[in-house]
Homo-oligomer: A and B are copies of this chain.
Amino acid sequence: MKDADTEQHTLEEIRTRFISVMAKNMEVYGISETVGRLYGTVYFHDQPMTLDEMSASLCMSKTSMSTNIKILSEANMVERVWQKGVRKDLYQDEDDWYKSFTTVFIDRWRSATNANLESAEHTKKELQAILDKTNDSMVYEKAATDLSRVEKALDYYAWLDEIIHLFETEQIFDYVNKK
């Protein structure tokens, strides 16, 4: 049988390893490993954490903690909480991971897809204008093929738009239930 100190140490190791995997895979969300590790640290901490505690826990500068926690905060993955008598900022993890998924991830897709849609619509109009005006058959042909390519993109973006909508409206949970 191990003694309590060794066990405590083992627990720490287990945590650290789990957090590392977690953090590494957060890159698919567009979240850097360091930021991911910070999230894991906060997630596994029993109480809300101060910047100094994060700094000590990760052996990284307080400045880094400040910038990284801001990223997590804007992604709604952590929230600042208040405790009486505590002057330092305190952060704890946002516990609805499904909600976080949307804010972190879907929001990114939303803005990208909107930009693409807008660009495609605009390009479509420009090409149609050329088709209307030109007398040159070569130009006409080029514009026509380009237009078909842009329209294909538009169709795809529209599909993506609907997918994103599925998550934004939480309709997705009708198809795949929260666990």
Contacts and interface: CB of A to CB of B under 8 A. Distances in A.
Interface of A: 1-2, 4, 7-8, 10-11, 14-15, 17-18, 21-22, 24-25, 27-28, 30, 43-44, 46, 97-98, 101, 108-109, 112-113, 115-116, 119-120, 123, 126-127, 130, 133-136, 138-139, 142-143, 145-146, 149-150, 152-153, 155-156, 158-160, 162-163, 166, 172, 175-179
Given A15-B146, A142-B11, A98 B156 contact: yes
A119 B155 contact: no
Contacts of A109: 28
Interface centre among A133, A134, A145, A158 (most CB of B within 10 A): A134
B179 A22 contact: no
B97 A156 contact: yes
Nearest to A119: B21
A32 B97 CA distance: 27
A116 B178 contact: no
A113 B113 CA distance: 24
Given A7-B134, A30-B28, A146-B44, A162 B139 contact: no
A179 B156 contact: yes
Contact of A126 (B14, B28, B136): B14
A40 B46 CA distance: 49
Nearest 5 A/B pairs, CB to CB: A155-B179, A21-B119, A4-B136, A25-B112, A18-B123
Contacts of A177: 159
B133 A2 contact: yes
B123 A14 contact: yes
Nearest to A171: B175
Nearest to A158: B179
A112 B28 contact: yes
